[in-house]
Homo-oligomer: A and B are copies of this chain.
Amino acid sequence: MSNAAPATIEDVARLAEVSIATVSRAIHTPDKVAKSTRQRVNQAIAITGYTTNAMARSLRMGRSNMILVLAPDIGDPNFSSILIGIENEARAHGYGVLIGHTQNDPERGLDYLKFLNSNQAAGLVLFTGHEPFGHQELAQRLPPTVAVFEPVFGAKVSYVGVDDTAGARKAAEYLLASGHRSIAFIGDSKTKLGHVRRRKGYDLALDAARITPDKRIVIDGEGSVESGRLAVEQLFMRDTLPSAFMCVNDATAVGVINGLAARGYDLPRDFSVIGFDDVAQATYLNPPLTTVRQPRSAIGRQAMALLLKQLAEPGESVEEILIMPDLIVRGSVTSAMRSR
């Protein structure tokens, strides 16, 4: 609105009747400047409303104090809480956070690569499951990076996420403890690393219970609501309905619950369903969804802590931190005894 150009360090210097060097010092190394001068400078800063030009600063220093968080889908229900964990930790250490939305589009990825390439961010948090792709030359110059939530596909990048296998195992064991013996697994067992790990937890639990897995009730699905609904249809058509559904995530569980309800079944009387993630919606489902809760803010916090560590000591250390999730028991699982 106001036309006046923002005050520069020079404006402050002139007003305080010192050199710009002194102003800079008064700001960054106050003890290296005489008390009286310092006061004059501070006054001048207050009067002019001076703010250091972050761009000029970064250009000179070859490093900014912003962290870039790259996400393919801002709408992911897990994103927001993880982000808050990241932000809190970042802010506590003087970093700001900027978010880039890639939509899994290489063009957009390139935009952000250029952003990084000109030192506009000191560090990178990847929520994408992969590096910004399609532009190898640029992608080689990434700043310290940590992947969050989803591990980066085939790369040597630090990772902080949930212990999918252990979490899924907890879920499966809970189903088993409730007396279920015929437990379907709905999700992607091949490509999505996180899903594969959850599947493994399922296998482990069944194995430990000496139950031979029934391949007919392990259904593919990419983790969408629709995929859950489709799985139900498939199972129904084949007449291989299980007594319980273990879903790779809550979205899938929503689809399963819906599919079952559409078929006229009564939940949780007729079937038990368990999810993974604990999205906000889970409480409001009918029945309220029993699920495994993502330790979201812990993931964010730890990821940022790890990134800060890498920022401090640029050694090429790659760490992987897996956080143990809790089972959240609500109403969607009941004893198998009551089933059919």
Contacts and interface: CB of A to CB of B under 8 A. Distances in A.
Interface in A105-164: 107-108, 111-112, 114-115, 117-120, 137-138, 140-142
A114 B119 CA distance: 17
B284 A254 contact: yes
Contact of A51 (B77, B138, B258, B284): B138
A118 B54 contact: yes
A286 B51 CA distance: 53
Given A6-B141, A51-B117, A120-B54, A80 B73 contact: yes
Interface stretch (A18-26, A93-101, A210-218, A326-334): A93-101
Contacts of A83: 74, 101
A55 B61 CA distance: 12
Contacts of A114: 51, 54
A99 B100 contact: yes
Contacts of A138: 49, 51
Nearest to A156: B1
A104 interface: no
A131 B39 CA distance: 31
A91 interface: yes
A203 B272 CA distance: 45
A112 B55 CA distance: 13
A334 to B, nearest CB: 18
A134 to B, nearest CB: 14
Interface string A65-80: 0100000011101011
A146 to B, nearest CB: 14
A144 B84 CA distance: 28
A317 interface: no
A2 B99 contact: no
A283 to B, nearest CB: 8
A117 B58 CA distance: 14
Nearest to A2: B140
B99 A101 contact: yes
Given A1-B142, A59-B59, A97-B101, A261 B281 contact: no
A101 B59 CA distance: 24
Interface in A276-302: 280-281, 284, 286
Given A1-B142, A98-B100, 5 more contacts: A51-B138, A55-B58, A74-B83, A83-B101, A99-B101
Interface of A: 1-2, 4, 6, 49, 51-56, 58-59, 66, 73-75, 77, 79-81, 83-84, 87, 91, 96-101, 103, 107-108, 111-112, 114-115, 117-120, 137-138, 140-142, 225, 254, 258, 261, 280-281, 284, 286, 316
25 contacts: A1-B142, A6-B118, A49-B138, A51-B138, A53-B117, A53-B118, A53-B119, A54-B115, A54-B118, A55-B58, A55-B119, A56-B118, A59-B59, A74-B83, A74-B99, A75-B77, A75-B80, A75-B81, A84-B101, A84-B103, A97-B100, A98-B98, A99-B100, A225-B284, A258-B284
